[in-house]
Structure 1
Amino acid sequence: MTVETLLEKLIAFPVLGGEPNLDIINWIKEYVEGYGVSTTLVFNEKKDKASLHCRIGPAVDGGVILSGHTDVIPVEGQDWKTDPFKLVDKGDGKLYARGSCDMKGFIACCLAVLPKMIKSNLKVPIYFAFSYDEEIGCLGAPELIESIQSTYIETPQYAIIGEPTMLQPIIGQKGIYILDITINGSAGHSSRIKQEVSAVHEAARLTMWAEENMQSRIDLNKLDVRFDPPHSSLHVGIIKGGIAPNIIADKAFLTLDIRSIPQDNALDIFKELKMYCQNRERELRPIFPEFKITLKENHPPVPPLNTDENDDVVALLRNITGNHEWSTVSYASEAGQFAKAGFRTIICGPGSIEQAHRANEFISKDQLHKGVLMIKQLVKELENPNS
């Protein structure tokens, strides 16, 4: 199959993050096993989702993991001009569909080059690692990585995460941790603001705490100039509370999005937040004994990526892409999880992140074909010299 045909097949599975993905993963399994390659499925607890991994080539240490996710984000509320789950070629050099760029395009490139991998005399193996639920918290990757490490006696060396980067090697990403915060205050007449505890006022104080915590990191020069912004960010994206202007709010809700540079630890920021909340509870419970701030995980912590620019994996990507410039990104991906597991990891894939998560998402045919070429060059790089 051509890479376009493979992408068309993958797009036709409208698997959103959080939804069962067995249709698409079983289709990939059948395709890969059709070339005589054994695959392993890593199921979730309910057995309605699975990641897939396999090894192509010799059972020796070393080799490269090619990793992507099978889920996409919703299209509801977006102004799509075409059917988002049908690959559309308008004749403008672009292929439109949800997931075309993020990141079924990369998976299609991997599958398109599989026949060449099979025929090549590889000196070290290539692994496929395709996950579920990346879009709602990188949930499938940890068990996928654990299964790779327990299934093969041999140890893969590198991991290429095929997020859309216009085939530019990405050596760093920020980590992410998102929290839901619920505040239980006391209702009352607005004239009694000092005799009650306003949940809305406490939500405002928490918002200012986040702003001040972020600014303190800047003031202390906790910076990494490779990123934009060059510091860990704390952002309140949702805040709700109150029912009337003359009623003290007894409930409020907000979300806190933490994006940490590699030098920071999101869990340390969480500890600082928890300490602040405990101090507020101690201070205000004499006024209202049931005052409470509850912190709940919305998006589990995903570690940052911090690959050295002189690492061999960077040199490998330069060789197979021809791109000698590296960069960093502020979004999170499964790359940090692979790196934390000990794989020398980099992000590089076809398409632009500017097209991800928006209506009329597309990948250019040029980028798709260059993605195929990159993986073909990887095969050539890993071939025995005498083959």
Structure 2
Amino acid sequence: MKSMSAENILKELVAFPVLGGESNLEIIYWIQNYIEQYGVKTYLVPNTENTKASLHCRIGPETDGGTILSGHTDVVPVKGQDWLTDPFKLIDKADGNLYGRGSCDMKGFLACCLAALPKLTKASLKTPIYFAFSYDEEIGCLAAPALITHIKATYKENPKFAIIGEPSMLKPIIGQKSIHILDVYVNGSAGHSSRIKQEVSAVHEAARLVLWAEQKMDTLIKSGPIDNRFNPPHSSLHVGRIQGGIAPNIIADKAMFSMDIRAIPSDSGHDIYQDFINHCKEKEAELKVVFPGFKINIKENHPLVPALNTDENAEVVALIKKITGHQEWHTVSYASEAGQFANAGFQSIICGPGSIEQAHRANEFISKTQLQQGVIMIEALIEHSKDSALN
């Protein structure tokens, strides 16, 4: 392969229809081959079944203080969405936008990294730049912990910064809420609806648990803390799906609902989750007296993804301001791998091309301007890394 523009690389990447949970080996091998043609050694971090792999590499010297550029290779499904074009073909329209699944979230950032690689490998860096590309981010940021562990075990030196290239219009994002998604299954006793006080309705008990979540959120709002950097400025509990029962005159023995917990950095998402578990245990003990088979099973749809809470005066914030020109920082309520990198000891920030408003929707796009500016940002990072006085 020869060097390619960001747009042409993005065209190749979009053509790999890798959904979260599916094998990403074809796209990761393509990326690996592209990187290694420049003489850069890459490392793969496979899953247990060897059906998926993350990739990382270092460009530059074995010195402390480098910067990790992090992104994911998977995308969300397109089924049921009203796409006007083939979602897995990058379409260049006259409006200046490039359409395709993942063009914005977040293959655009990967394309920027790879497009800057020729210049990166020729630069006389004083501190290194790393690529770290994961899988299964869209179903719970599942691969990042193993990827981070492998990075720390592979290199003797210590990277200092991590830039997670989620779409932010290249503006610095210093905070994100944690997220924890749960599927809750309630097992009650079936019976004639006239016996509602003698049986235990799974639907009624599921509804009470939903009300508990609403009341817990209200308690968190009243008791604080409030973080006005976020919208909403508090931790939230939300039930997005509920089902159960088979007929209006039959007491339901099965019900389930799905809930997400999004906690501001100063709240503990784990503690909120544990409060819910404790409440469920109390309900079980109470209702087993009526029906011994009553049970609440809680399945983690995906594990807790930690919050990001980077100080506005941190060096990584100054770095992003310098290389992008954007001086105002922001926060988001969606999840990303940034909190995982931060918890591993890297000064972490979210900054990438494209708008999050385009992510996960039909006719997703990234503007050509944003793609070009993404490359310019990485080229500015290269210049920064060439000057030891700035590190």
TM-score interval (norm. to shorter): over 0.9
| 1:154 pairs with 2:157 | yes
Query: For the Cα contact (< 8 Å) 1:113–1:375, is it kept in 2?
Result: yes
Residue 290 in 1 paired to residue 290 in 2? no
Take 1:245 and 1:222, find their aligned partners in 2: how far apart are those partners? 42
Match of 1:29 among 10, 27, 32: 32
Partner Cα separation in structure 1 for residue 117 and residue 347 of structure 2: 23
Residue 266 of structure 2: which of 248, 256, 263 is its match?
263
Query: 2: distance between equivalents of 1:258 and 1:296?
Result: 14
Give the aligned partner of residue 376 of structure 1. Answer: 379
The 5 Å alignment of 1:49-60 reads: 49-60=52-63
Match of 2:123? 120
2:127 and 2:388 in contact (8 A); partners too:
no
CA contact (8 A) 2:69 2:129 kept: yes
Mapped to 2, the partners of 1:59 and 1:373 lie a distance apart of 25
Asked if structure 2 preserves the Cα contact closer than 8 Å seen for 1:57 and 1:126, the reply is yes
**Counterpart code for 1:309:** E
Alignment pair present for 1:17 and 2:23: no
Check if 1:43 corresponds to 2:46: yes
Q: After superposition, where does 1:156-175 map in structure 2 within 5 Å?
A: 156-175=159-178
Distance in 1, Cα, partners of 2:248 & 2:15: 49
Letter in 1 for 2:221: I
Whether the 8 Å CA contact 1:121–1:384 is kept in 2: the answer is: no
Q: Which residue of 1 aligns with 2:304?
A: 301
Aligned length: 386
Aligned counterparts of 2:361 and 2:311: Cα–Cα separation in 1: 32
Deviations 1:291-349 (A, max 9, x none): 11111111111100000000000000000000000000000000000000000000000
Cα offset, 1:282, TM superposition = 1.4
Match of 1:66 among 60, 64, 69: 69
Give the alignment partner of residue 326 of structure 2, picking from 323, 326, 331.
Answer: 323
- Alpha-carbon distance in 2 for matches of 1:279, 1:44: 38
| 1:239-278 superposed matches below 5 A | 239-278=242-281
- Give the secondary structure class of the aligned counterpart of 2:260: strand
Between the aligned partners of 1:364 and 1:322, the Cα distance in structure 2 is 18
Indicate the SS of the match to 1:205. Answer: helix
Give the TM-score of the pair, scaled to structure 2.
Answer: 0.98
CA positional deviation for 1:384: 3.4
> Can you list the C-alpha shifts for 1:116-145, whole angstroms capped at 9, x where unaligned?
111111100000000000000101111000
Rounded to whole Å, the distance in 1 between the matches of 2:274 and 2:303 is 15
Question: How far apart, CA to CA, are the structure 2 residues paired with 1:176 and 1:12?
Answer: 30
Q: Give the equivalent residue in structure 2 for 1:102.
A: 105
Show the counterpart of 2:139.
136
Q: Which runs of 4+ in 1 moved over 3 A?
A: none
2:351 to 335, 345, 348: 348
SS across alignment from 2:26: helix
Query: 2:94 aligned to 71, 75, 91, which one?
Result: 91
Contact 1:62 1:155 in 2 (8 A): yes
Per-residue deviation, residues 93-112 of structure 1 (Å, max 9, x unmatched): 00000000000000000000
Q: CA deviation at 1:35?
A: 0.2
* SS at structure 1 position matched to 2:243: strand
In the TM superposition, what are the counterparts of 1:179-258 in structure 2 within 5 Å? 179-258=182-261
Separation in 2 of the partners of 1:289 and 1:173?
A: 42
- SS of 2:116's partner is helix
Provide structure 2 residue ranges, at least 5 long, that are not aligned to the other structure.
none
SS in 2 for 1:376: helix
CA distance in 2, matches of 1:273, 1:3: 46
Equivalent residue letter for 1:310: N
Code of the aligned partner of 2:61:
P
Counterpart amino acid of residue 29 in structure 1:
Q
Q: 1:385, CA displacement in angstroms?
A: 6.5
Query: Gapped runs of 5+ residues in structure 1?
Result: none
2 CA distance for matches of 1:40 and 1:281? 48
Q: Whole-Å Cα distance in 2 between the matches of residues 374 and 108 of structure 1?
A: 13
Cα distance in 1 between the residues matched to 2:380 and 2:57: 20
Give percent identity, aligned residues only: 68
